[in-house]
Amino acid sequence: MADFEVDVDPAEAGFDAARLSRIDAHFDRYVENGRLPGWLAVVSRHGRIVHMGRGGYRDVEASLPVEPDTLWRIFSMTKPVTSVAAMMLAEEGLLELDDPISRWLPEFASPRVYVKGSALAPATEPATSPIRVWHLLTHTAGLTYGFHHGHPVDAIYRAAGFEWGTPRGADLAECCAQWAALPLLFQPGTEWNYSVATDVLGRLVEVVSGLPLDEFFASRIFAPLGMTDTGFVASSPDRLAAMYVRDPASGRAVRNDAFGRLGTARPACLSGGGGLVSSAPDYWRFTEMLLRGGALDGVRLLAPRTVSLMASNHLPGHVDLEAFGRPLFAEMPFDGHGFGLGFSVLEDPVKARTLSSAGEFAWGGAASTAFWVDPDEDLTVGFYTQLLPSSTYRLRPQLRQLVYQALVD
């Protein structure tokens, strides 16, 4: 996108330009010492691009630089898109947050919950309440991810072929049928655990709408918002960044073409939890829509009250994830953060030890991409790279510090 560039003097938007330049210097050091292949950061305030920094390469081996229109696998930054899709259907009266998901996905009619035992011989009991739509949106359904490596049920997922992917050839309907047959970690609604819940939510969107998930996204979200480069397959393969992982011996980013194949062909399973490829300009439009209460450039996807509900902490008693969540891998810290309908929600900046504003909502992806929306400051920020896993470095809190120290009005 040729016109995706800084379009306002930083001082007019309340930023110190010299301090913003610290973002570039900081992340360029990651490139210089080989820890990141390349990166791009976008800071926007009052709907204007205040700063866009980029450095390094989208493909180190081919010496192809990061460009504003580089395509990135955004992994779990897909989750907010799926959550928006579900809430659009809720606004149409086609589903309610308290509805049992078995109304549309009968395979989830009689879930069983892990009680004790090993992955090979788990003891289970019936769920005392159904999995509801809001459980999927808040990751309180009792589902999990195989890559957590923190519970016997995680191992059961891995044994069934669910660790960093899905069984070969299985579509979303088949994956949901398999997940429904596996034990839940806990009774629905009693804890928080990052999980395949948003993938199940994506299947719910398919059944309720009557459209495959890619078609719903394309027709109902991407086309209306002008997100021409977002989908389950890269719109332009030559712009798709290569994938890298951290080498444990050297600490340097090493190319991984097995993960790099993601996004190059339509997957059998359309993952509403992590399957999208996007660009910085496209995802900026998505975050700006959220910041503006569900509308952008005359196109409205959601009502302001719906976005406000999504960006509210839904954990019981407004507790944070440290109190209610399982201390496993996730896309943000637990201290001071609650969880809404598809995003983390910052409840207490002091407890979270961040300069961000209370009410900020955010999420990130496994390849170290991230975004946040700060309604108090009328601010959106996006960060893009392709380094697995996202827990390798503290890139997200570093970026927050660098953005807010430059905000001086």
Q: Which tokens go with 293?
A: 């209460």
Q: Rounded CA gap, 148 and 276, in Å?
A: 21
Report the candidate in 253, 231, 232 with the shortest Cα–Cα distance to residue 244.
Answer: 253
Report the candidate in 205, 153, 202 with the shortest Cα–Cα distance to residue 175.
Answer: 202
> Which residues lie across from 57 on neighbouring strands?
65
Tokens 């009774």 — which residue? 187
Q: Rounded CA gap, 303 and 90, in Å?
A: 11
Helix-helix angle 197-209:172-180, to 10 degrees: 120
H or E stretch covering 316: none
Q: Rounded CA gap, 112 and 110, in Å?
A: 7
Length of the chain (residues): 409
| Catalytic, out of 21, 44, 63, 76 | 76
Q: CA geometry: angle at 78 spanning 73 and 84, to 5°?
A: 155
Residue 251 contacts residue 88 (beta carbons within 8 Å) = no
Per residue, the 3-state secondary structure of 30-45, as one string, reads HHHCCCCCEEEEEEEE
Residue 271 designated active-site? no
Q: Which tokens go with 69?
A: 């229109």
Contacting residues for 242 by C-beta, under 8 A, at least 6 apart = 37, 58, 59, 60, 61, 62, 255, 257, 260, 386
H-helix segments, 160-300? 172-180, 197-209, 213-216, 223-225, 257-260, 280-291
Report the candidate in 212, 279, 275 with the shortest Cα–Cα distance to residue 4.
Answer: 279
Residues recognised as catalytic: 76
